[in-house]
Structure 1
Amino acid sequence: MYTKIRKLVLLFFCWVLTVPAMAQNDTTKVEMADGLRANGKIYVVVMVLVTILAGVLLYVVRLDRKIGKLEKESK
């Protein structure tokens, strides 16, 4: 019975978190994004974000390999 209550509470919180997303209107415009897109600077922002995410991903992969190697050596 306790797990059913937990599931219901979790479902309620998930529903509460999605309500603001449903309340947004499609007619709203983001002026900053429009300005960046008009000037062509949005591509610079996207490339910077892609570069940062690629760097973080490469760092995590290298770290995982090093940790795996250390785990094999310790056994």
Structure 2
Amino acid sequence: MPAPPLRIFDSPCKSVCRIDDRFGWCIGCKRTRAEIKAWSTASDAEKQDILARLPVRAAAEPEVLAGGGS
């Protein structure tokens, strides 16, 4: 059964917590260091903006790993 969608105030952390330099974001939650650091003080709108970027990053990973990205 798929996980329920995140609520705005929920952290997207997956407890994997490792920044991959190929991507520039955490391999677990897909957030950058700056986004992780800012999360606890971010407004709901800022959190929503961060959450909106995560699926795009997850979709980009296979392309980067295949050599089609940076």
* Same-fold status (TM-score > 0.5): no
User: Relative contact order (alpha carbons < 8 A, sep ≥ 6): 1 or 2 greater?
Assistant: 2
TM (norm. structure 2) is: 0.28
